[in-house]
Amino acid sequence: MKNDKLILFFVATGFLFLVVETRYNHAGVWATHPTAYIPVVATGLGALLCLIGMVVNKKGATAVASLLVLCSVVGLLGVYYHTEGDVNRLQAMLTSNTREERVLRSQGELGGAFGERPLLAPMSITGLSLVGAICLFGTKRK
């Protein structure tokens, strides 16, 4: 149980860093894309859920873990918004030559599917949520 709390503490810390990062990266798009608030709220909620998960009993841990699984959907939703629902952009990013991208980015010539948004960055929300949920589902509390 002690290790569970330590893991949840680090996951909560990761969520808090994501609150700051998503708030910073989405700052210029609030007016045009109100959906940019979703990851900021979800990561703050994720941090709070992890901290709550550190102190609740078995039944409460199951409820908190279920909410974290629900929170993990936000990452998938973010990938959808970042790719604008275009599977071809995601496929182009997954099958690209990363060395060529770094050269083009350093020369300021990077455009296309890689020009604006980090396509897979929202998956960090999904990953942290699922780590926290797995930790809570597997806990042996009274």
Report the phi/psi class of residue 86: left, alpha or beta, with left for phi > 0 and alpha for psi in -120 to 50. Answer: beta
Backbone angles phi, psi at 120, to 5 degrees: -105, 0
**What's the token pair of residue 126?**
């999904």
Domain residue limits, the chain: 2-84+119-137
Per-residue pLDDT of the chain (142 residues; tens, 9 = 90+): 588 899 999 999 999 999 999 888 888 887 888 888 899 999 999 999 999 999 999 899 999 999 999 999 999 988 888 777 777 777 776 776 666 666 666 666 655 544 566 777 888 999 999 999 999 998 776 6
Q: How many CB atoms lie within 10 A of CB 122?
A: 24
The CA-CA-CA angle for residues 68, 74, 45, to 5°, reads 50
**What's the token pair of residue 15?**
């969520």
Residues 6+ apart with CB under 8 A from 52: 60, 64
